[in-house]
C-alpha cells in the first residue's frame, strides 16, 4: 500500500519520471506526485520539482535502494560527527 512520502516511478512512454507521493485524490483514482527527475537510456536527469496528477495505474513503487550496511552507516554518521541533532540537543543557540 502506497502512502504519502513514498518514492515512485511513473511510466511516461520510453521516459520514466521519478518522484514522491504528495497526496491521493479522494474522488478519483489519481495520485499527486512531486516529480524530481527523469530516467531515460539508463541516465537520471534532475529537474525542478513539479507537482503532477497521475493515474494510480501508471505508478510503481521504488524498492529499497540501500544495502543494510548503508543504512547502518547513515545512522552512525551523525553520531560519529557529534551532530547536535543525533544527540537530541536543541539547535537553539544564543
pLDDT at 88 over 60: no
Over the stretch 36-51, which tens digit does the pLDDT of each residue have? Answer: 998 888 888 888 889 9
* pLDDT score for 27: 78
What average pLDDT does the chain have? 78
20, 8 Cβ separation under 8 angstroms: yes
DSSP 16-57: EEEEEEEEE-SSSSEEEEEEEEEEETTEEEEEEEEEEEEEGG
Separation of alpha carbons 36 and 17, rounded Å: 8
Give the rounded percent of residues in the chain with a pLDDT score beyond 70.
Answer: 67
pLDDT at 2 over 90: no
C-alpha grid cell for residue 76? 552512525
* pLDDT score for 64: 63
Q: For residue 13, give the 3-state DSSP assignment.
A: coil
Separation of alpha carbons 33 and 17, rounded Å: 10
Amino acid at each position: 500500500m502506497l502512502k504519502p512520502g513514498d518514492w515512485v516511478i511513473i511510466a511516461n512512454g520510453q521516459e520514466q519520471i521519478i518522484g514522491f507521493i504528495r497526496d491521493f485524490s479522494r474522488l478519483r483514482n489519481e495520485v499527486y506526485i512531486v516529480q524530481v527527475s527523469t530516467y531515460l537510456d539508463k541516465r537520471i536527469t534532475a529537474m525542478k520539482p513539479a507537482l503532477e496528477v497521475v493515474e494510480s495505474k501508471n505508478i510503481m513503487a521504488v524498492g529499497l535502494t540501500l544495502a543494510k550496511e548503508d543504512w547502518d552507516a547513515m545512522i552512525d554518521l551523525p553520531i560519529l560527527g557529534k551532530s547536535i541533532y543525533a544527540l537530541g540537543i536543541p539547535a537553539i543557540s544564543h
